[in-house]
Amino acid sequence: MTPPTERPLTAMIDPAAGPPDCAAYERAGGWQATRRALGDLAPAEIIDMVTRSKLRGRGGAGFGTGQKWSFVPKEPAAERHKYLIANADEMEPGTFKDRLLLEGNPLQLIEGMILAAYGVQAGHGIIFLRGEYGLACSRLHHAIGEARQQGWLGENILGSGFGFDIHVHSSAGRYICGEETALLTALEGRRATPRSKPPFPQTGGLWGAPSVVNNVETLCNLPHIITNGPEWFAGLGLGEDGGTKIYGVSGRVAKPGAWELPIGTPLRQIIEEHAGGMRPGHQLRALLPGGASTAFLDATALDVAMDYGSVEKAGSRLGTGMAIILDDRTCPIGMIRNLEHFFAQESCGWCTPCRDGLPWVERLLDAIEDGSGQEEDMDQLARHARMLGAPGRTFCAHAPGAMAPLASGLKLFAADFAAHIQQRRCPHKSGA
């Protein structure tokens, strides 16, 4: 057996060689977890192991995976129609970790889905894949076909009596589909508006059936937890959380990229060691630690450990763990305007504060960046940040997520906002 490695998620990923086939996957330690689970473990034991591993959702919200599963009705898969859905609708700006996993080792996701499905006793699997991920789509179809042919998917897997198969749903491009209830609505062939909870998906999800929606990276951890044990997994993290995490950095750094590191690795280490620090002639001004919907942190926060609790204490969220760097030569107001354009465009339009508020914010930022902003625009922005930012005033977390970079940006870049309004131009644009 392969000894536990510090980089379980990416150990088999070799972009030059392409993804492993079933045989190569098995030689490198794959399928052991499925043999063990279906041969020796009861579904409840899988849920217990995942709970003890301290695995939390890697899609952004960070909910405990074992806990999420614990709410699913316990009937065996053969007795009750249930769904296990992989959320592969990776659309958070600045985030490219799931694409790496989908393209690099699709069988790892398939095995993770088999294990999750066995744990919650779901017979029906769906991969909700964003429409833009064409290469991932063809590799998933190929891997599913091969796994089916070799008996890893289908009826009575390994003679266990448990049956499970996977369908790939290619979506057509809408950020809100990453929200789990909107994702279910989209699968039912409707405009992807989020649903009110309760009922929670675990009891009343897709077509009314119990459903679990887990992020791709979350699911890819499962084979390693079952093979090497929950204590091993929990021990991989540097702080409170278990496992490794795929971290990434984009922006004007020397070597943008993604790396699998122990969860809780300090932000400074990720940026300075792995991303090679800033490009010559650029200084780090601030950053979004985990995608577009996380609050800005400034350069004084670089020593924060990148785990759920520590980033929250620092005033932001771990989110997807993919940091976007703002350098000193890029206009922070221009950056926030770009972010709010995205959120305004991607609002599903269902509830009024989000549908009408986000375009208003975008227009105010347009005016300020273009030199026609007024003092009172700042009050209006602050009011939106307050009204839309608080949870509970909108149907889902889209608007609060959109307000995270704005509210933090209004504080961090107050002098930049003032300069734009006073000088009636963007000071970062030369010759204006």
Partner 1 sequence: MLTAEAPLSTPVRAEILALAAQEPHPRGASVAALRLVQARLGWISTVHLREVADLLGMSVDDLDGIATYFNLLFRRPVGRHVVMLCDSVSCWIMGREPLCAHMCRTLGIRPGETTADNAITLLPTVCIGHCDHAPAMLVDGTLHGDVDTATLDRLIDTLRDTP
**Contacts with partner 1, residue ranges (CB under 8 A):** 90-96, 98-99, 131-135, 167, 169-175, 186-192, 207, 248-252, 256-258, 288, 292, 322, 324-327, 330, 334-335, 338-339, 341-342, 345-346
**Is the CA virtual torsion 182, 184, 185, 186 positive or negative?**
positive
Min separation Cβ 138 and partner 1, Å: 11
Min separation Cβ 381 and partner 1, Å: 18
Nearer CB in complex with partner 1: 28/254? 254
Q: CA torsion angle for 212, 215, 216, 217 (degrees, to 10)? A: -130
Nearer CB in complex with partner 1: 3/189? 189
What is the spatial order of strands in the sheet that 322-327 belongs to? 257-262, 244-250, 322-327, 284-288, 297-298
Min separation Cβ 170 and partner 1, Å: 7
Min separation Cβ 337 and partner 1, Å: 9
Min separation Cβ 201 and partner 1, Å: 16
Nearer CB in complex with partner 1: 68/337? 337
Min separation Cβ 209 and partner 1, Å: 9
List of residues 6+ apart from 404 with CB closer than 8 A: 293, 294, 295, 316, 317, 389
Nearer CB in complex with partner 1: 27/167? 167
Q: Both tokens of residue 32?
A: 């052991």
Whether residue 11 contacts residue 261, with contact meaning beta carbons closer than 8 Å, is answered with: no
Q: Both tokens of residue 383?
A: 């009011």
Phi/psi for 113 (5° steps) reads -70, -40
Whether omega for the bond prior to residue 289 falls within 30 degrees of 0, making it cis, is no
Distance CA(227)–CA(239), nearest Å, equals 22
Nearer CB in complex with partner 1: 49/219? 219
Nearer CB in complex with partner 1: 99/245? 99
